[in-house]
């Protein structure tokens, strides 16, 4: 009876284990290196954090004693260093007077429109706002200025062209929906109208580098949309002339008709005194026409 031959084993079937073992070894070495690079000297980090906290806890013009020399990050000896007081820059009197004069000029120039209710001029020590009814500048549902808009915007440009104050134009609509090829929603319509006003002001000599346009759509009504009269007033353009660029950015972030002067002052104070790390306390007030942001009252700040 012939003897059965046992099949020879294929030694190549286990070669994958060699590559796998090399990969695992390299992966282990990689994590060891990453762990070594991420380690932090805990004692030096604690000393640095303590030194910084001592400096930032200083208030007013007090003197802070630096820690004695030792095994810190840098050799040295204890000494007194004068920490300057943190002050908030008050509005310049000349800037305030200039805005007040500008408001008086605007009220004089637009007296006829103010009397018939199509233009409103408001202001404070930080900015003035010239509100124009959209019917003075545009046809319904369009962002192409009408011919009658040019002389009106010429007067606005005359107020802003000779000054360095930043200017931004806010566009608003009522809550009636719009859906066309050019304007899929009221966002596009309000932004296009604001941009068209900025463009016309540029043609009248206002520096484009200090202008901006923003559209708020239907979402910041100043009047009730329940009546036709309210919807007509909500279709408006507001030209804001600010004291400086920081004021312009803050007013534009909220909308000139949704933020109060004291709220902007609080934000400016926090910006200049940000070393304290305390955010300004703003109060959100629900009004008939929407939301208004203003500085919180003292009792509310204590609750916070």
Q: Are 130 and 156 spatial neighbours (Cβ–Cβ below 8 Å)?
A: yes
Question: Distance between CA atoms of 232 and 133, rounded to whole angstroms?
Answer: 8
pLDDT mean values, one per 10 residues, the chain (304 residues): 59 66 78 66 63 54 47 49 46 82 95 95 96 97 95 95 93 96 96 98 95 96 94 97 94 91 88 54 56 54 52
Other beta carbons within 10 angstroms of residue 104's beta carbon come to: 13
Both tokens assigned to 276: 């304290």
Angle of CA points 216, 256, 125, to nearest 5°: 165
Q: Do residues 266 and 88 lie in contact, with contact meaning Cβ atoms separated by under 8 Å? A: no
The pLDDT score that the predictor gives to residue 30 is: 75
Burial class (CB within 10 angstroms; exposed 0-12, middle 13-18, buried 19+) of 292: middle
Contact 110, 155 (CB under 8 A): yes
Position 270 scores a pLDDT of 78
- Whole-number pLDDT of residue 27: 79
Query: What per-residue confidence (pLDDT) applies to 282?
Result: 52
Instruction: Show the beta-strand stretches assigned E in 145-279.
Output: 167-172, 211-215, 236-242
pLDDT the model gives residue 29: 77
Q: What is the CA angle 151-156-159, rounded to 5? A: 130
How many Å apart are CA 3 and CA 120, to the nearest integer? 113
Q: Which class is 93-257 in CATH?
A: alpha beta
Q: CB-based contacts of 302: which residues, under 8 Å, 6+ apart?
A: none
Contact in structure between 123 and 247 (CB atoms under 8 Å): no
Token readout for 50 is 């303590």
pLDDT of 28: 78
pTM listed for this prediction: 0.64
Domain boundaries of the chain, sorted by first residue? 93-257, 259-304
């Amino acid at each position: 009876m012939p003897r059965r031959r046992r099949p020879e084993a294929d030694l190549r079937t286990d070669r994958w284990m060699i590559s796998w073992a090399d990969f695992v070894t390299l992966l282990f070495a990689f994590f060891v290196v990453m762990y070594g690079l991420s380690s932090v000297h805990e004692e030096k980090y604690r000393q640095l954090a303590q030194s910084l906290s001592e400096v930032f806890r200083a208030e007013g013009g007090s003197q802070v004693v630096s820690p004695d020399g030792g095994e810190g990050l840098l050799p040295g000896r204890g000494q007194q260093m004068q920490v300057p007081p943190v002050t908030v820059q008050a509005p310049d009197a000349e800037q305030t007077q200039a805005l007040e004069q500008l408001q008086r000029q605007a009220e004089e120039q637009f007296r006829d429109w103010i009397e018939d209710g199509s233009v409103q001029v408001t202001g404070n020590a930080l900015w003035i706002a010239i509100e124009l009814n959209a019917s003075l500048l545009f046809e319904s549902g369009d962002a192409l200025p009408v011919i009658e808009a040019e002389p009106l915007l010429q007067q606005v440009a005359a107020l802003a062209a000779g000054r360095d104050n930043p200017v931004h134009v806010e566009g608003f609509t009522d809550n009636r929906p719009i859906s066309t090829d050019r304007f899929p929603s009221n966002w596009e319509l309000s932004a296009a109208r604001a941009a068209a006003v900025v463009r016309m002001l540029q043609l009248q000599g206002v520096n484009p580098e200090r202008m901006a346009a923003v559209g708020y759509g239907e979402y910041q009504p100043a009047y009730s949309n329940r009546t036709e009269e309210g919807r007509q007033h909500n279709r408006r353009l507001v030209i804001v002339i600010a004291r400086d660029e920081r004021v312009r950015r803050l007013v534009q972030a909220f909308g000139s008709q949704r933020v109060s002067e004291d709220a902007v002052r609080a934000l400016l104070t926090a910006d200049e005194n940000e070393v304290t790390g305390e955010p300004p306390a703003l109060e959100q007030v629900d009004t008939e026409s929407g939301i208004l942001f203003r500085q919180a009252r003292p009792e509310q700040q204590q609750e916070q």
